[in-house]
Each structure stands twice: as structure tokens, then as C-alpha cells.
Chains A and B, each alone.
Chain A
Amino acid sequence: MALKRNVSLASALRYKGQGPMLTYILHRIGGVGMAVFVTVHILASFVGGKAGIFANSIYENWLFQIFIFFCVLFHAINGLRITISDLWPKLIQHQREAIWVEWAVFLPIYGIAVYVIIRAALGG
């Protein structure tokens, strides 16, 4: 499976897309992460039994919860920014500022959630 691209992987990693590029990558990771999670979750509740319990034990793990909450929260907040700036195209010129607002909203909520998840994992 040789992918043909005009840029090499090394130059792709050196690409300085900065904030918008980072949100684009994280949005994509979050989307795929949620798609896989929701698919497995629906199938697990459909199949039930031992396979269902096994799938449950994966996504009840605190590491997975930290990952999937990142996917959900980032995808939701970034998606709202994209929606707003796409429906009102004049706002696109403020997208870098919008991304700072986005992190200012995301980080406190995510930080508190991670704290709660880890505290629950430690049995508190």
C-alpha cells in the first residue's frame, strides 16, 4: 500500500500549520476515535454476553475515558467554531483568535474532567 504524495512525511511533519493545523488534526483524530467507539459501543450492547462485557471493560477503563472525552469535547467545541465561521464566512478572518477562545473553553472543562476521572480511578 504505497501512498503517493507530493510531500514526504518528513516535510509534512515540518509543515508549520500552527494552531489551525493542530485543530484540524485533532478534529480528525477525535472524529475517527468517536466513530470507532460508537460503533463498538452499539455492537457491544447489541451482542451482549461475554463480548459485550469485554467491550464494556475497555471503555470503562480510565485511560480510555480520558481519551474518548478528549475526542468528544474537542470535536464538539472545534466543530462549533467551524460551524459558526462557515455559516458566517466574514468571521473566518478571526479564526486564529477563535482558536484561542476555543482552547480557553476546552482546557478548563477538560482539565476538571480529567481530574475527576483520575480521582475516581484512584478510588476517591
Chain B
Amino acid sequence: MTATKSKSLPLAKRGLNFEMLMWIFTRLSALAMYALILFAIIGALIMGARTQMNMADVLRWGFMPNLSHVQNTNVPDIAPWSTPFWRAVASLLLLVATAHGVHGLVVICDDYIVKPRGRQIVRLISIVFMIAMIAIGLYVVWTL
């Protein structure tokens, strides 16, 4: 089997445009989500999840450290789970995940919508959608 040699262009030749920035953002935000979810799971274990929650509930909290995700578990006091700190972590996860997800949807749409006008419309819709989902998500995280 002949291994194909990977070519790497210097950054100057590759160009540093928005698409390139979003390409690297997608990778880095994936790592950031891994870090945030692990952080939330470790936080849950420190707050006593080992005896108060089952594995599925810990994961549910990990994927979004939100108050409503611990409400129907055996956690005796939900006050430490709804501090501004955890709401901030949830907000950060929401922002990173929304940007990652909406960009992913735009990339998929670009595979099927090839006309510049269509792509412009996709981008317009995606920006409106992203802002709306972030606003609604932040509202849910901070008021519930």
C-alpha cells in the first residue's frame, strides 16, 4: 500500500479568509465542547452526583449544565446546581455549540445549494436563526 503524502501549504499561500477561520473554529470548538462537558461532569461528581444521580442524569447535566436537567433527580438541594457560575458554563456551551452547529448546517447546505444568490440567502437565514436560538437559549438558561 502506497501511503499518500500529505501536502501542507504555508499559511500565506492558503490565505486566511473567513472560511479558513471557521474551519479551524469547528475543530477548536469541538475540543472546547469536550472540555466543557467533561468539566460539567466532574463538577457534578464533586457536588455529589455519585450518590444522587444515575449515569444518564449525569450525562444529561454534562451535555447542558442547566437547572431543569437536575430537577427530577434525587439531588436534595438544587441551589448549588443553579449558581451564576453554572449558568455561565451553560451559556458558554450554548454559544460554542450554536456557532458550531449553525456553521455545520451552512456547510451542508453549500453542498446542495451552489448558486451565489442561494448561498447568500442560506447565510442570511443562518445568522437570523443563530441569533434567535442564542437569545432563546440564554433566556431559558438564566430565567428557569
Contacts and interface: CB of A to CB of B under 8 A. Distances in A.
Interface of A: 3, 28, 31-32, 34-35, 38-39, 42-43, 45-46, 72, 76, 79-80, 82-83, 86-87, 89-90, 92-93, 116
Where chain B touches its partner, the secondary structure class is: helix
A92 B140 contact: no
Contacts, number: 47
A46 B139 contact: yes
Where chain A touches its partner, the secondary structure class is: helix
Contacts of B51: none
Size band of the interface chain B makes with A: 20 to 34
Given A45-B144, A46-B136, A83 B27 contact: yes
Nearest to A42: B137
Nearest to A31: B104
B104 A83 contact: no
B80 interface: no
Interface in B93-122: 97, 101-102, 104-105, 108, 112
A46 B141 CA distance: 10
A94 to B, nearest CB: 8
B126 to A, nearest CB: 11
B12 interface: no
B101 A46 contact: no
A43 to B, nearest CB: 7
Interface in B1-45: 3-6, 8, 27, 30-31, 34
Given A42-B140, A46-B140, A35 B104 contact: yes
A34 B144 CA distance: 23
B68 interface: yes
A76 B63 CA distance: 12
A14 to B, nearest CB: 19
A34 B101 contact: yes
A111 to B, nearest CB: 15
A34 B98 CA distance: 11
B31 A31 contact: no
A32 B105 contact: yes
Most chain B beta carbons < 10 A, residue from A3, A35, A90, A92: A35
B133 interface: yes
B20 to A, nearest CB: 12
Contacts of B8: 89
Contacts of B6: 89-90, 92-93
Nearest to A88: B6
